[in-house]
Amino acid sequence: MSYVKVWLHCVWGTKSRRHLLDDEVRHKVFSHIKQNALLKNIYIDIIDGYTDHVHCLVSLNADERISDVMRLLKGESSYWVNKERLTAWKFEWAKEYFAVSVSESAVENVQAYIRNQENHHRKRSFREECEEMIRRYNFKINNDDIPGD
């Protein structure tokens, strides 16, 4: 048996950065994402976000691919939001996402960062947060391709 634990900090936004995740909707959606992940054997340690995006800390198994996990989480949850009519508008996630590795020693810091999203976004927008992640992790992307645009 192989023993694998790869921590990822995953972030994705609503299409066009629409602020569709008010407090009530956000909590329902995040709870649903976590429950659905369990059914698909995807381990989400913590999930939170703000009105236009999601952060989660995921632990990948040996047989999971980042793109598959993101497709399952994003695709199913947007379908569910629309089926449940949780928003007045058609709900969609942006195509793009961030996924960065997290060392075991940094897991508690990332958990705290994710847990503090509401306070964090009183001071800076999701776009500013994305631009900071691009700089910090040296992503090579077009400014037009920032997740959530």
Q: How many helices and strands in the chain, by DSSP H and E?
A: 5, 4
Average pLDDT, the chain: 91
User: How far is the C-alpha of 56 from the C-alpha of 121, rounded, in Å?
Assistant: 16
Give the start-to-end residue ranges of the domains of the chain. Answer: 6-145
Statement: 6-145 belongs to CATH 3.30.70.1290: yes
Extract the runs of DSSP E, i.e. beta strands, from the chain: 6-13, 43-50, 53-60, 98-102
Residue-wise pLDDT for 46-72, tens only, equals 999 999 999 999 999 888 999 999 999
Say if residue 143's pLDDT is above 70: no
Q: What is the DSSP string of 35-63?
A: HHHHHTT-EEEEEEEETTEEEEEEEE-TT
The pLDDT assigned to 136 comes to: 83
Secondary structure of residue 112 in the 3-state scheme: helix
Residue-wise pLDDT for 3-24, tens only, equals 888 999 999 999 999 999 999 9
Q: What are phi and psi of 98, to 5 degrees?
A: -105, 145
